[in-house]
Structure 1
Amino acid sequence: MSPVEVPLLVVGGGIGGLATALSAARHGLPVHVLERSPEFGEIGAGLQMGPNASRALDALGVLDDVLPLAVRPGAAVLRDALSGRRLTRLDLGPAFRGRFGYPYLVMHRSDLLDVLLKHCEANDLITLEAGRDVVSSEVGDDRADVRCTDGTTYRTRTLVAADGLRSGLRRHLSDDEPVCSGYAAYRGTAPRADDASDDVVLWIGPGLHLVRYPVRAGALVNQVAVFRSPRFHAGEAEWGGVDELDAAFAGTCGPVRDAVALVGRDRHWAIHDREPLDTWVRGRLVLVGDAAHPMLQYLGQGACQALEDAVELGGRLADDEAGALEAFQRARHPKAVRCQTSARPWGDLWHTADPLTVAVRDRMFALRADDDYSELDWLYGVSPGGRRR
């Protein structure tokens, strides 16, 4: 069977893959997207998007469709999970938007994917194929080939791996494996009380945290309960069960226990990342999103960094295909890797049980002003070296 020739092939039809396709097409480039699932869809519920993600969505031409589905929280509030005491507050209102140019948004993951999918389907330069599971690939200096389970082979000038944490295409650059943090997450949505705040609220405590914020234009509240599993750290194969969830949160304050009682209990997720790679490029292959830089969730930047990748790569491909992949990497690698390497210690700080560290941490939180954004410029501002959209 002769290979199907496509100029630009994206493997993976999640948020990062569809955003990459849309970015390239908006620059006049034809794109072919392969998704292994029978249909395009997202697993999970809530999604936090900093102004860097809102900026990327604007560059992709989808922000106006996203805003009616999202909520603009007034603040992000950090509380002690045991006492319920407020530790600090980040004002996300006009001053925040004035500094970074775009709002902080929270929404349902599937709502964002649906918007991206709608725009991709409406673009004549984008071809979408679901049910295409890539099982092998070859990467060279001038082309790349991928073969699917049914034997269909695609040949492309540029291959974009947007196939997530367990990327099969990443093996061309590294034989590493995902690193399990030993933490489990339970996620779900619940009806929102009429008097509930629009704030993002995060409770932190020894070996655990709970985050809660509105989604679906404020109709529901998304909740994620995360805890350190003693069974994982004891080397047991089965870990993260409901009994561990309840034991972890048994000593927390009433609002946290009430919220944990409402999270979905039929499934939990083990939390992984990977060590940073020195390069995301080999020949005509480039990694993006979680295939390139999977990170722990503590900065809320997984999807945000994938969106920034998409905008940057589409523009670079349009500017100079010969050097596009290397230029993309130079622009994006420093910030994405900083997110990866910052997320781990930030999570450790949330979850510490050391009394001295807790006392110093809480004192530092108490000293900062609600509108002190000085530590966020690198994260939410326009990246040095990146394209000005």
Structure 2
Amino acid sequence: MAHAVIAGGGIGGLATALSLARSGHRSTVLERSTSFAEIGAGIQLGPNAFHALDLLGAGADVREAAVFTDELRFMDGLTGEKVATMKLTGAYRERFGNPYAVVHRGDLYQALLAACQDRDDILLRAGTAVSGYSQDSSGVIAHTADGNDVRGSLLVGADGIRSAVREAMLGDGEPRVSGHTIYRSVIPIEKVPEELRWNTVTLWAGPRWHFVHYIIGGGEFLNLAVTLDDGASVPVAGRKAAGELVLSRFPGIGTTARRLLELGTGWREWVLCDRDPVRTWVDGRVGLIGDAAHPMLQYAAQGACQALEDAVVLGDLLKGAEDDALPQALEQFNALRHERAGNAQLVARRMGHELYHPEGERARVRNAMLGSLTQEAMYDKVAWLHGDRSFTDGGHGGHR
């Protein structure tokens, strides 16, 4: 049995601990915060996420808290006209083997946390920030800010977009600032007029901005997220923003979308960041997963999904692995995952530029293109992301 030290107790870190436990290994999860908790708002989960969650033993709990949406709806944010819809029931679920759902990020996290807490082979240690690592042929040491270093057979860096493990491994500095500012709010569903309580993920696309909303929390809340391509150059994470400021930044927004935007309270502001794809996520007995390996913009709704896939693949590759085989297994993990996750990173960027934020004639061309697609054509376009199950087959064929 290997002992994995996992830097980061977020979604990716907890999922990795569960996957390694499923493969017969024990883990110590080191979380820099003083408690294991998740902040944030809504998150979208494709069928690939549910395939992973089921294997990790958390699928049933996540389903209890999820809202299973009927369709993805793309709207013209200026005129209010419906451009296109992708139906998520019937043929979609039959083709991809699982539903598409939205959930509060905290509900997803709590399901993973509860599953970890139920296991004797997972130790959760809060208030411990990993600052770097050193290794030799027999193991790896996670260096911590408090000096209470932890030795293990391998180290998994699941410590996010500003990963200390990544910095020690790759030394590639700060993330790339996207130039996009996002404002988020979560409001009680009682505040939403009944005629606007759509069981959809709805996106209103405007010139250099877009607005997404959907119901979460088992139907109790509406998640609002509005993004502006404003050239922001300084990272911001969770700063309070006045409702008047948010409304003032989207003066041309259509009537229905503005009604929903005006409902928002307690707005928080982020400036979105990602990184360029890299080919190497491993160094001997050390590997990266999730946002530490492949942080991506939210536009493909695949950040958490790809982290869950990472966890399943890593656990499968380490099943029955002896101590001296761990570096080779990590190299195989890197080889299987880097291209697929890197493609997701780049697609997310392109979606922001080409799909969500065009203006003028480019927006009209976009609307015409989307409006011409059949349901089957839409499913074909997302199949490589939503429908991939190669990470669950034990052989991991078909990754791209």
* Interval of TM-score (by shorter of Structure 1 and Structure 2): over 0.9
Residue 163 of structure 2 aligns to a residue whose secondary structure is coil
Q: Which residue of 1 aligns with 2:301?
A: 300
Q: Which residue of 2 aligns with 1:100?
A: 96
Residue 17 of structure 1 aligns to a residue whose secondary structure is helix
Q: CA RMSD in A?
A: 2.3
Summarize the Cα distance change of 1:147–1:221 in structure 2 as closer, same or farther, 3 Å threshold: same
**Distance in 2 between residues matched to 1:262 and 1:72, nearest whole Å:** 23
Amino acid at match of 1:144: V
Q: Say yes or no: does 1:65 pair with 2:66.
A: no
Summarize the Cα distance change of 1:188–1:244 in structure 2 as closer, same or farther, 3 Å threshold: closer
Q: Is the 8 A contact 2:32 2:126 kept in 1?
A: yes
* Cα-to-partner distance string for 1:76-125 (whole Å, 9 max, x where unaligned): 10001111111110010021010010110100000011111001000111
* Cα-to-partner distance string for 1:53-98 (whole Å, 9 max, x where unaligned): 0111111111111111001001010001111111110010021010
| Cα distance, 1:327 vs structure 2 | 1.5
Summarize the Cα distance change of 1:31–1:358 in structure 2 as closer, same or farther, 3 Å threshold: same
Q: Which residue of 2 aligns with 1:91?
A: 87
| Cα distance, 1:221 vs structure 2 | 1.0
| Cα distance, 1:135 vs structure 2 | 2.6
Q: Say yes or no: does 1:377 pair with 2:372.
A: no
Residue 29 of structure 2 aligns to a residue whose secondary structure is strand
| Cα distance, 1:264 vs structure 2 | 4.0
Q: Say yes or no: does 1:136 pair with 2:143.
A: no
Residue 40 of structure 1 aligns to a residue whose secondary structure is coil
Amino acid at match of 2:204: W
**Distance in 1 between residues matched to 2:152 and 2:131, nearest whole Å:** 16
* Cα-to-partner distance string for 1:255-313 (whole Å, 9 max, x where unaligned): 22222223344531110000111111111110000000000111000101000001111
Amino acid at match of 1:82: L
Provide TM-score, normalisation by structure 1.
0.92
* Cα-to-partner distance string for 1:290-341 (whole Å, 9 max, x where unaligned): 0000001110001010000011111111143512111211221121000001
Q: Is the 8 A contact 1:187 1:264 kept in 2?
A: no
Q: Which residue of 1 aligns with 2:398?
A: none
Superposition pairs of residues 1-389 of structure 1, within 5 angstroms: 7-140=3-136, 142-171=138-167, 172-192=169-189, 193=192, 194-195=194-195, 196-229=197-230, 232=232, 242=242, 245-320=246-321, 322=325, 323-372=328-377, 373-382=379-388, 384=390, 386-388=391-393
* Cα-to-partner distance string for 1:212-247 (whole Å, 9 max, x where unaligned): 1111111111111111225x36x999x996566333
**Distance in 1 between residues matched to 2:366 and 2:235, nearest whole Å:** 32
Amino acid at match of 1:303: A
| Cα distance, 1:186 vs structure 2 | 1.1
Summarize the Cα distance change of 1:185–1:11 in structure 2 as closer, same or farther, 3 Å threshold: same
Amino acid at match of 1:343: A
Question: 5+ residue gaps in structure 2?
Answer: 395-400
Q: Which residue of 2 aligns with 1:3?
A: none
**Distance in 1 between residues matched to 2:312 and 2:145, nearest whole Å:** 30
Summarize the Cα distance change of 1:152–1:262 in structure 2 as closer, same or farther, 3 Å threshold: same
| Cα distance, 1:354 vs structure 2 | 4.2
Question: 5+ residue gaps in structure 1?
Answer: 1-5
Summarize the Cα distance change of 1:203–1:12 in structure 2 as closer, same or farther, 3 Å threshold: same
| Cα distance, 1:370 vs structure 2 | 3.2
Amino acid at match of 1:370: Q
Summarize the Cα distance change of 1:341–1:236 in structure 2 as closer, same or farther, 3 Å threshold: closer
